[in-house]
Structure 1
Amino acid sequence: MRRRFLSCAMAAAALAAAPSISLAQAAWPARPVRFVVAFAPAGPADIIGRLVAQRLTGALGQSVIVENRAGAGGSVASAVVARAEPDGYTLLVNTSSYAVNPSMQRNLGFDATKDLTLAALVASSPNLIVIAPSVKAGTLKDVMADAQGGAYNYATAGAGTTPHLTAEYLFKVLGKVPVTHVPFQGAGPALNAVMGSQTQMASVALPAAVELVKSGRVRGLVVTGSKRSSALPAVPTVAESGFPGFEDVTWVGIFAPSHTPRAVLERINAEVARLQQDPDFLAKLSAAGFDPLGGSVEQSKAYLQKELEKWAQVVKETGAQPN
């Protein structure tokens, strides 16, 4: 009898607790949310992180604070968030480098397939190869010819970023020319290196360099999309420049630690989806060179799995190293 009473009491307690648990999840966020951005300011992750944080601050009724934690091609920030409490208050803003790093780095400090969940895909952009104003070569074919002697180097936001793999594949696999990779901790520092003639070229996600190309501080060589970017319509595609079929993009997404409540993941996903229907938000994306992405939590997970497989193959083909 006592055992039966205890069982009934425990069941009643569980039922009583269930609404409070649901309410606790529904109340997210009850305090400020932190966006840990995986790269230095001025790159695609930072641009998207700050744009989304600004909008979500109003939508969620809580501050969304942006913190840049650059290093190891985005893996430093990823490891920080992977170790955070899975409560939705520490989130990661990272790029497609997240899908590259497992094939590039032996000791990530986290498991990319188990420790973090892609809650929402926000936007993507083609990559862009820019050259210093002092470089005389005017086209990709000119650069390929000049690079035969091994005198060219190029900057990126870090080893393991998709612009890094883009350049490796384009120059070393397709062009068969020797170029030297110089990794930095963000697209901003990489572009500074080109403007200061420390490197002849940089390979970055397009939004990071749009204003620099327009102002003439760097020259756009090629974009890696299937068509020219409306943000830089004068810059030809790689396909137009002699390598048909070449296409590559950098995407940006919001990740949460694994075991974050499903209700929180769905809320993040839903808020991003709402932003992607906002004409003003879309106009800001377009002006910076981004296109919106989207999809449910499950679709985002499936997208990430395909990206992990795709970039593993590219790393194998290029023999890219984490420098």
Structure 2
Amino acid sequence: MLFPISKRCFLASTVAAVSFFWPSLARAQEAYPNQNVRFLVAFPAGGPTDAIARILGERLTEKWGQSVVIENRGGAGGNIAARQVAKAEPNGYTVLVTTSAYAVNPSLTANAGYVPETDFKTAVVAATSPNIIVAAAGLKASNLKELLEAAKTERFTYGMPGPGTTPHLSAEKIFKVIAKVDIPPVPFTGAAPLLNALLGGHITLACLAMPPTIELIKNGQIKALAVISDKRVPSLPDVPTAIEQGYGDGEESTWMALFVPSGTPAAVLEKLNTDINAVLAEKPILQRLDQLGMLPVGGSLTESEAYVRSEIKKWGEVVRKIGLKVE
């Protein structure tokens, strides 16, 4: 037999239930993070994405009193990590740390495995760095102009840190669209294995984000041919820009950003954004970024999301102009 429940009884029981659970829900959000936070890095250890993840993770661990655990999930130009985080529970405890490849891959590949606009929220764009074209120390060409002249009669290939990364697109644009020479790409899973191959003599050329190349260039282990920026960079003042040499029309950089799955509570997203911005403003962190050839970015949630959306549009247009497609 069913007994009718009065509206008053129903409201009373509902209020009681909410009153019972709400304090614990509120405490859970206020306490974030109250357990380890996992930073899933979309590229291998030793590259710029890994570097920014570790710099932020180390300082946030101190700030939060909870460990930030770094896990590298390289492969497919960053898509493997992105797919994994897109399916993670949206609670702020699994964070994607990736590059501008995140903005490129949806238009470059038939199925990136995620939709940026619906699967993720941008926590913050942390830092950016110009892309650079480098070569083995023994290469005869001493700059980009000499390389492109040699490429008319000699065969070269170049390494890049993964399909869909901005170094991949930067090189394709300069080689194929502007200089109209055929220098095929050789994909790697990230900057570290790419540089190991260059140092080991397995490839002659590479295009990648600047940070991991700086010391190798200064030590004479590899040769810098051109930095793809509006002006020369302070950390490598003797390296000419691609524009100076007649190739390129502006800076093309690799940015590093942090994303969480859509559905992550607003308070958690705000906490991540606020605390990372605070870390990026600290003098020791600024000094470390400068040493690596990175510029801090930061900004509000709205600014960060707007920037990423603009990059998705920008690089989508570049992909279509070059005519690239990765299956």
Identify the TM-score tier after normalising by the shorter chain. over 0.9
SS for the counterpart of 1:166 is helix
Is 1:199 aligned with 2:207? no
Q: How many residues of Structure 1 are paired with residues of Structure 2 in the alignment?
A: 323
Tell me what 2:313 maps to.
309
Q: Which runs of 5+ in 2 are unaligned?
A: none
Identity %: 44
* Alignment correspondent of 1:157: 161
Tell me how far 1:73 sits from its aligned partner.
0.2
Give distance in 1, aligned partners of 2:276 and 2:93.
16
Q: Which residue of 2 aligns with 1:209?
A: 213
RMSD: 1.4
Verify the 8 A CA contact 1:73 1:161 in the aligned structure 2. yes
* 1:227 and 2:263 aligned: no
Q: Using the alignment, how far apart are the partners of 1:321 and 1:148 within structure 2?
A: 25
- Distance, in Å, in 1 between the alignment partners of 2:191 and 2:92 is 28
Amino acid at match of 2:148: M
Query: SS of the residue aligned with 1:209?
Result: helix
Name the counterpart of 2:79.
Answer: 75
* Matching of residue 85 in structure 1 with residue 75 in structure 2: no
Give the 3-state SS of the residue equivalent to 1:286 in structure 2. Answer: helix
Q: Distance in 1 between matches of 2:113 and 2:103?
A: 15
Does residue 252 (structure 1) correspond to residue 248 (structure 2)? The answer is no
- After superposition, the Cα gap between the structure-2 partners of 1:150 and 1:258, relative to the gap in structure 1 and judged at 3 Å, is farther
Task: Please state how far the C-alpha of 1:247 moved relative to its aligned partner.
Answer: 1.5
What's the TM-score once normalised by structure 2's chain length?
0.95
The answer as to whether partners of 1:159 and 1:321 remain within 8 angstroms in 2 is: no
> Helix, strand or coil for the counterpart of 2:126?
strand
Considering only CA atoms, is the larger Rg found in Structure 1 or Structure 2?
2
Q: Cα distance, 1:22 vs. partner? A: 1.7
Residue 29 of structure 2 corresponds to 25
Amino acid at match of 1:279: K
The Cα of 1:12 is off from its aligned counterpart by 3.9
The 5-angstrom pairing of residues 134-173 of structure 1 reads 134-149=138-153, 151-173=155-177
Question: In the alignment, residue 109 of structure 1 is paired with which amino acid?
Answer: G
Are the equivalent residues in 1 in contact too, given 2:174–2:248 (CA < 8 A)?
no
> Does structure 2 retain, via aligned residues, the 8 Å contact 1:150–1:179?
no
Contact 2:151 2:181 survives alignment (8 Å): yes
Q: Deviations over 1:274-322 (max 9, x none)?
A: 1121011000000100000011111111111100000000001112232
| CA shift for structure 1 position 16 | 4.5
Q: Is 1:291 equivalent to 2:312 in the alignment?
A: no
Aligned to 1:50: 54
The counterpart of 1:41, out of the listed 45, 66, 69, is 45
Are the equivalent residues in 2 in contact too, given 1:150–1:178 (CA < 8 A)? no
Pairing 1:93-112 to 2, within 5 Å after superposition? 93-112=97-116
State the secondary structure of the residue aligned to 2:259: strand
Give the TM-score normalised by structure 1.
0.97
Residue 209 of structure 2 aligns with an amino acid whose one-letter code is A
